[in-house]
């Protein structure tokens, strides 16, 4: 069944009008007709079932027939990553992270970052598409690009970890991620965090972690962090 994104839909609503893009896809591409069923999600835990009341390709009208609310996951995963110069790699990461399950993605401007600016519009659309495809109920928060030092100063050090490549003792992320109900993992740019950035995090009480023995590309490391935290989180 077709799933559409309805961010402004509320549980009290009896009817709903799809956006022009969603209307066109439902009526022109999928050829839905009056009486056909459709699923909706609002990105805030709400799942809806509806039927087509008027199959207009610009203003498809729906009649809501059922609503349920999915509780948020008990474990909060937050990845803060320096976006790559090639934006396709970040798009791939966002898509796969949403499919697996992530609550928040932040973007860092680091000393060695090759990308200094970032527009979220395209990434938000990819996140919504992945949400619909994967059947998730909660759309993750995507944050604007922020300077690394400002971000480090804003997070809770007891639940934040830095995955860097410098020598030194590090704990496996799976081990520390399973010890609580949430974690934030910092992932650096292609050239890694600078020693000064690492020391800044350690000075704040942020602990160093490892994602394994392989040297991973930025987007791979970020996805590995999401996947590791997902497996370590309490299930159910």
Return the domain boundaries, the chain: 3-69, 76-232
CA angle (213, 219, 221) in 5-degree steps: 25
CA–CA gap between residue 48 and residue 64 (Å, rounded):
7
Q: What pLDDT is recorded for position 234?
A: 58
Rounded-to-integer distance, Cα 21 and Cα 230, Å: 33
Instruction: Tokens for 19, please give them.
Output: 């956006």
Tokens of 65: 């027939």
Residue with tokens 């077709």: 2
> Is residue 79 within 8 Å of residue 102, measured between CB atoms?
yes
Residue listed under structure tokens 């949400």: 131
Could you tell me which of 2, 225, 7 has the C-alpha nearest to residue 128? Answer: 7
Q: Which of 220, 79, 233 is nearest to 141 (CA)?
A: 79
What's the CA gap between 217 and 27, in Å, rounded? 41
**The residue to which tokens 């495809």 are assigned:** 133
Superfamily of domain 76-232: SPOUT methyltransferase, trefoil knot domain (3.40.1280.10)
Q: Is the dihedral of CA 24, 25, 29, 32 positive or negative?
A: negative
pLDDT of residue 25: 87
Distance CA 71, CA 75 (A): 11
Fold of 3-69: Ribosomal Protein L25; Chain P (2.40.240)
Q: Do 163 and 225 contact (CB within 8 A), yes or no?
A: yes
Digitized pLDDT (tens) for each residue of the chain, 236 residues in all: 789 999 999 999 999 999 998 999 899 998 999 999 999 999 999 999 999 999 999 999 999 999 999 999 888 999 999 999 999 999 999 999 999 999 999 999 999 999 999 999 999 999 999 999 998 899 999 999 999 999 999 999 999 999 998 888 899 998 888 777 789 999 999 999 999 999 999 999 999 999 988 889 999 999 999 999 988 775 54
End-to-end CA distance of the chain: 26
SS (H, E, C) 30-98: CCCCCCCEEEEECCECEEEEEEEEECCCCCCEEEEEEEEECCCCCCEEEEEECCCCCHHHHHHHHHHHH
What is the predicted pLDDT for the residue at 150? 98
Predicted pLDDT of residue 173: 92
């Amino acid at each position: 069944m077709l799933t559409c994104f309805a961010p402004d839909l509320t549980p009290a609503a009896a009817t709903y009008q799809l956006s022009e893009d969603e209307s066109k896809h439902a009526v022109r591409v999928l050829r839905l007709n009056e009486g056909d069923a459709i699923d909706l999600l609002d990105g805030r835990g709400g799942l809806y079932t509806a039927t087509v009341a008027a199959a207009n390709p610009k203003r498809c009208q729906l009649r809501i027939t059922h609503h349920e609310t999915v509780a948020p996951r008990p474990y909060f995963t937050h990845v803060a990553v320096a976006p790559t110069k090639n934006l396709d790699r970040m798009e791939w990461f966002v898509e796969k992270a949403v499919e697996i399950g992530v609550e928040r993605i932040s973007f860092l401007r680091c000393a060695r970052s090759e990308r200094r600016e970032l527009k979220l519009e395209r990434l938000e659309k990819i996140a919504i598409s992945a949400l619909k495809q994967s059947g998730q109920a909660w759309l993750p928060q995507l944050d604007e690009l922020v300077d690394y030092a400002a971000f480090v100063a804003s997070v809770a050090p007891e639940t934040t970890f830095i995955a860097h490549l410098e020598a030194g003792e590090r704990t496996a992320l799976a081990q520390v991620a399973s010890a609580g109900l949430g974690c934030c993992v910092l992932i650096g740019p292609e050239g890694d965090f600078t020693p000064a950035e690492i020391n800044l995090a350690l000075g704040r009480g942020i602990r160093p972690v490892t994602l394994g023995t392989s040297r991973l590309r930025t987007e791979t490391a970020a996805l590995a962090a999401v996947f590791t935290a997902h497996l370590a989180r309490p299930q159910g």
